[in-house]
Amino acid sequence: MIRVLAGIVLGALSAVMSLVAYSGPLDQPWIGLALATGIVASGAWLTVRLAGMLGWVCYALVGCVATVWLLYFPPANIALYTDYAWADDVWLLLCSVALWLPVLIDRFFGRTDRAGGSGATVVNETRNEE
């Protein structure tokens, strides 16, 4: 339950933060797209390391739903605005890549210990207490 909750909270936070950043500072959308991609990718990596695959699935679902909702449904035309129409389409593509890429890199090239398992073994030794 905690893993699901962590995925939901982190997904919502990263979606909102990345949507604020994607339009770019000072009319420079490429900087904003890079910042937003970094936010989503680092959130995906953090979620898969802390909450496992179940938490990451919740992170990805909430992140995608929040992104689409905030971009295309009201009050999208008021709250989130960019001068470049192509930035919306590029952001949706980069968001999907940023969700999957860190997880795949961590899965194939990362450490072997995962969330939920400590990697330690319990040794049953008798103690000599006097």
Q: Which has more pLDDT, 130 or 71? A: 71
Using pLDDT thresholds of 50, 70 and 90, give the confidence band for residue 69: confident
The verdict on residue 7 lying in a domain is yes
The verdict on residue 120 lying in a domain is no
pLDDT tens-digit series, residues 110-126:
766 555 555 556 566 67
Identify the pLDDT of residue 120. 55
The verdict on residue 66 lying in a domain is yes
pLDDT tens-digit series, residues 2-61:
999 999 999 999 998 988 888 878 778 899 899 999 999 999 999 998 988 999 999 999
The verdict on residue 41 lying in a domain is yes
d(CA 99, CA 87): 18
Domain count, the chain: 1
The verdict on residue 122 lying in a domain is no
Q: Which residues, 6 or more positions from 24, have their beta carbon under 8 angstroms from its beta carbon?
A: 30, 31, 32, 33, 35, 82, 87
The verdict on residue 70 lying in a domain is yes
Q: Which domain holds residue 62?
A: 2-109
